[in-house]
Amino acid sequence: MRFTRTRTVVTAGVAALAGAATAAAILVAVPASARPAAPSSSQPVVLVQCNGTGVVKPTTYDPPFCMSSSQFISGLKWTSWKSNAFGSGTFKLNNCNPSCAGGKYVSYPILVVLWGAKSWPHHSGRQYFSRLTWIFTGKHPQGIKTAAQTFSLSATGAP
């Protein structure tokens, strides 16, 4: 069968409309809670630090415990920072040998995922990341039983 240019264009248009209708039907079938949330503002989502300030793409982070500790994340490099953030860095842990004051920091490579963007109370139109997952990509510290750990993050920075 020989198609003319008009038939080809009409056929392509009908196929495109059918594809769009199928995509719309799929979106309607997926519950709203399973769809990514539309950003409430054009401002980037922040990571709330222990002092309560929000930062975008930090290069260091004190893990979500907000107390003096012998661990932190450094050398963070971010590949994405939107409603979720993906990066990599180094988890550093003081081995406290012979004491924490005299110990040395041992480095472990990790991947970092920030997710669960929520409205940031008292910051109109802003969002903060409410969850952090880190994944050790090699050896992980003794006493940490799994390669991946997830933590809840506070909107105030305090634990």
Confidence of residue 131 (pLDDT cuts 50, 70, 90): very high
| Residues 133, 149 contacting (CB under 8 angstroms) | yes
Residue 159 lies in a domain: no
Q: Give CA separation, 149 vs 63, 131, 146, in Å.
A: 11, 11, 7
Q: What residues make up the domain containing 16?
A: 5-34
How high is the mean pLDDT of the chain? 79
Looking at the structure, tell me whether residues 134 and 57 fall in a common domain.
yes
- Of residues 155 and 63, which shows the higher confidence score? 155
List Cα–Cα distances, 123 to 36, 54, 72, 84, in angstroms: 21, 10, 27, 19
pLDDT band for 71, please (50, 70, 90 cuts). confident
Q: Name the pLDDT band for 26 (thresholds 50, 70, 90).
A: very low
Q: How far is CA 8 from CA 16, 26, 127, 144, in A?
A: 12, 27, 48, 61
74 shares its domain with 30: no
Examine residue 41 and state whether it is found in any structural domain, yes or no: no
Amino acid at 49: Q
* 26 shares its domain with 53: no
Q: How many domains does the chain have?
A: 2
Give the mean pLDDT of 75-100.
94
